[in-house]
Amino acid sequence: MATDKAWGGRFSAELDAGAARFLESVSFDKRLADEDLRGSLAHAEMLGSIGVLSPEEVRALTEGLSALRDTVRAGDFPWDPAREDVHMNLEAALGPAGQRLHTGRSRNDQVATDLRLWARGACASVGALVDRLALALVDRAEGEIDTLLPAYTHVQRAQPNRLAHHLLAWVEMLERDRGRLDDCSRRLNECPLGSGAVCATTFPLDRERTARALGFLRPTRNSVDATADRDFLVELLAALAITATHLSRLAEELVWWSTQEFGFVELADAHATGSSMMPQKKNPDVAEVVRAKVGRVVGDLVALLVVLKGLPLGYNRDLQEDKAPCFDAVDTVSASLAVLADTITHLRFDRPRMRAALGHGFVTATEVADWLVTRGVAFREAHGVAGRLVALCLARGVELSGLPLDAWREVHPAFTEDVFRALDPEVAVERRDVFGGPARRRVLEALADARARLDARRGPTP
């Protein structure tokens, strides 16, 4: 850099002050300091193992890097924007030994390694928060195994359902979110160190040793791709954007369900706010803000894709802009997961209101069609019969259970008194005794399976 003549030997003038401010990245990439120091420790030890550094130099570097790490973690490191980025700041702090440390590496493979280490950690930390929210849903579902409510399609009452079954639907979505993060973590787990600026190095680096020291599965296979690749960040942001979309949908239901029109849930006072003008209001602001946050995360994904879309191989300075959207997306999704887990844990379900909602909207109309099918009527015909019964109920202002049997028989002669039992929501739910369905035993099995998956990922309790 022109601000550091050791790196700017071909230049005869300092970098313009405005350009220097424009190009600096330490204000945000200092977040990678811990990863950068880990990479430097592994690189120093490897250089010692191949004889490029003496044992004394390795020892001095190891002690210096460890001391730097303590200073950074304590928040006491004096970051200097004039040194442009996290790498140059930390190297300069090592003194002359830092210049020897840079043997056989470039900031290009250095930052690629830092980002993979950081992204791997982000996958793990966000994944743990995904599981925390899933566990909160499983905990609540176990307490609501006998709570019935309408299932909805098109925001219209559709069929009787168990609340536990509904909550487990969110767990399934989160399970896929966790799977995408785990897949991303596996795919990115290769080490770019040793790739140099673009075409590796003349030094006989032991890249396998460095990769092992940093917990990677293997070194990257191509030096050009290793320094130019940011696919792993795109994959991480895509996974986070899908997760944020799921959280937005969950938040949307909390907003709907907490309205007076639904009245299915009441948020705890700690997760709701009032109105500056209307004293009666209790607003689901936490859920609303979670719902809005998806826009930021999707925007972060789009921003990174646009940075990458026109870049030739290998490294280009455009890639400096990869970090801000990644940091923002991880922070935003992490905060949303945490606050939703707390919200779910402390909200109150209004069981009587949910049960009362089953008494309106003809939610057992499908049971009528299924009942006829068990008497030999083709489903399409049975569907039409049930529809005509609903129309008759609407004309008379009653629900299906309010129609006398003779009215049923006028629509179809196969009906008997037994059809009224099929209209009981409990019976309707229990008849759906198939894998993935809402019958009680199936939901209990699903709960046990979900908890087992979560427990397996958390490991044994210490």
The catalytic residues are 154, 275
Cβ neighbours, 10 Å, residue 113:
32
Nearest-10 Cα torsion for 31, 37, 43, 46:
-140
DSSP 157-225: EEEEEEHHHHHHHHHHHHHHHHHHHHHHHHHT-EE-TT-TTTT--SS---HHHHHHHTT-SEE-S-HHH
Backbone angles phi, psi at 265, to 5 degrees: -135, 155
Strands (DSSP E) found in 247-390: 265-266, 348-349
Cβ atoms 151, 160 nearer than 8 A: yes
Q: Rounded CA gap, 287 and 253, in Å?
A: 9
Instruction: Yes or no: say if 104 and 196 are a contact pair by the CB < 8 Å rule.
Output: yes
Helix (H, G, I), strand (E, B) or coil at 29: helix
Contact between 63 and 40 under an 8 Å Cβ cutoff? The reply is: no
The pairs formed by 354-357 with CB atoms below 8 angstroms and a separation of 24 or more are 354/147, 354/148, 354/149, 354/150, 354/163, 354/264, 355/147, 355/148, 355/149, 355/425, 357/149, 357/150, 357/157, 357/264
Q: Is the dihedral of CA 221, 66, 36, 94 positive or negative?
A: negative
Q: Which residues partner with 160 through β-bridges? A: 150
